Amino acid sequence: MNKIKEIRVANNSDFKLEKRAESNGNNLSGYAIIFDQPSEDLGGFIEYVDRSALDGVDLSKVQLLYNHNWDNILARTDSSTLSLQVDDRGLFFNAQIPDTTLGNDVSENVRNGNLKGCSFGFTIRNDSWQNTTSDTAIRHITEIDDLFELSITPMPAYQETTVSKRSLDKFKQQEIKSLGSELELIKLRSELYGY
């Protein structure tokens, strides 16, 4: 049986960007998937990604693309230029963007606020549907089978996804300084990640 590859992209003019310290480096980070948040209307249905949807998913061969274009690879997990972490909020990524025309253009567009969100390409193992007889059905993605790409995009399907440019070294220095107090660490994460 062929798996249907799905990509989440939709118009989104009301997006929030997390601003972090600027640097000369090309590190981009943010949340590519946010749990339990509604997508934009995807053509008759609104979708939610459940907190358990990424349990057991192999994240070792995920690629970060620009706008879902396989010719525009920015980073990848199997070359250690992309790191992924699932936490209570969703799927957080940190990418070392190459010093190329594309990498520099994407980085500058993120910094300027022209690119504000992320999207993802995946296949489904399990999902559930509600309100299928109404104008807008609700879909819950309960298990993702394969997550093959993340994309920095001007049109994310989920308003809560983020991408921002920051200095990894500055972040690490701030994190080390705050290790003395758990309260300071929680405050720093709250400021950096917006939760």
The string of pLDDT tens digits covering residues 130-144 is 887 788 888 899 999
DSSP letter assigned to residue 6: E
Residues near 12 by beta carbon (within 8 Å), at least 6 away in sequence: 40, 116, 117, 155, 156, 157, 159
Strands (E) located in 39-176: 45-49, 63-66, 69-76, 82-86, 90-96, 117-130, 137-153, 164-166
First to last CA, the chain: 41
What mean pLDDT do residues 157-171 have?
44
Cβ of 19: how many Cβ atoms within 10 Å? 12
pTM tops 0.85, yes or no: no
